[in-house]
Structure 1
Amino acid sequence: MSGTRTLCCHVNTATLTFAILYLIGNVLKLAGIFLMPSWEKSEYSFSYHESKAFKGQRVFDISTNILMLVLMSISAVLALFSQRKGSIFVLPFTLMMMVELTLSFLSLFNGAWGLPGTPTYRDLLQAVKEQKRVPVLNEEDIGQLTMWYSVFFMMDILLKVYILQVSMRSFYALKERRVPAIHVDTGNTVTVKLPSYDEALKMKTEDTPPNYQEP
């Protein structure tokens, strides 16, 4: 990873900025999960066993979403200490960005793999139908919704790729900056001036140790 600047600032400053925004976003998502009703009323009637299965699925989904958001928040907090503690504190943030990119691509095939707090295409479709108060959207509305969702999805992917690249460059920049500091602090460097070839030839032979003789 060459270069330590990105756009108009240092890669370390950009990583800290993204980590702060990332942390704020995750905290807001967590607040949204805790503030929403625990069990939403379904529009359809379920039997007792179906309702119990639905409730169990809801508990599992909410638990995994909360765990994922907590891990994301911890990685962002660790990145804030990278300037003092070293490059290893940026690594969790970089790994979480890789996980986010993977889940974003998987959400194209199945909405259950989507990121917590991020609406899927099905969620947006249902929201638009509720707003328009229609059971089915016409082709024009579906086309517009699909176009806008595709644009925002690609922008989100590109932004995450950029954050991943910046965080990786910050990791290597902090690592390179810490290496010379370790050599200076240890003080193990010893400078020895070796004699030239002519000086070595002029050395006295009596400087050599005497031969060992048995008594």
Structure 2
Amino acid sequence: MSSERTGQRVLVTLRRMISAGELAAGERLAEIPLAERLGVSRMPVRMAFRELEQEGLLVRAGARGFAVRAVSPEQIIGAVEVRGVLEGLAARLLAERGASEAVLDTLKTCLKEGDALFENGCFAEADAPLYLDLNIRFHAAIIQASGNLAIQEALSRNDHLPFASVKALAIDRNNLAAEYKRLNYAHIQHHAIVEAIAAGQGARAEALMREHANAVLRYTELDPAREGVAILRGS
């Protein structure tokens, strides 16, 4: 087995162990015992620790160690709801103050890229990083153009919870047809949000953005521990 496949297997296995409670919240993790338990070298375990820290599933414990983060599904749901409120406020402020041509051009560029991504009626695994990138730029443009630094700071703190940030995208590589429906729906919402912002409809822009965030809770049923699920992160 290649080192890349070994690393992916270790990452998925550790996600599953955390999700199932085999690695309990607060439990300190060490490379050597886990490597021996999984029958691999220390390197893929070390790399998996770093990735799981980025995903918010592990936290630093001491100079070199890690521990399983205690996060409940209710916390994640709450974080997504908070993101919807904050991003909704940002969209309303932007619509009411009037979006500049530069901001609208940035948003419309994201829409065009999304249109091209979904125009074939299917979604490939290679499309996921492209969607993640345009989605990050779309949301960042609205938040930054709102002119409210407090919103940016609050979102930065909120985004530390796993899967609550637009900078993280979970996809099921074994069911890309469902992923097409899910992400295309989100892209259609992007179009409606831009239309409301461009028209100066603050209340509508806010409602659409909140609905957009909360749609994650209704249309995503991805278990990060399930085989075939990949977690992508953007910068």
Q: Same fold (TM over 0.5)?
A: no
Higher strand share: 2
Task: State the structure with more CA Rg.
Answer: 1
TM-score when scaled to structure 1?
0.29
Higher helix share: 1
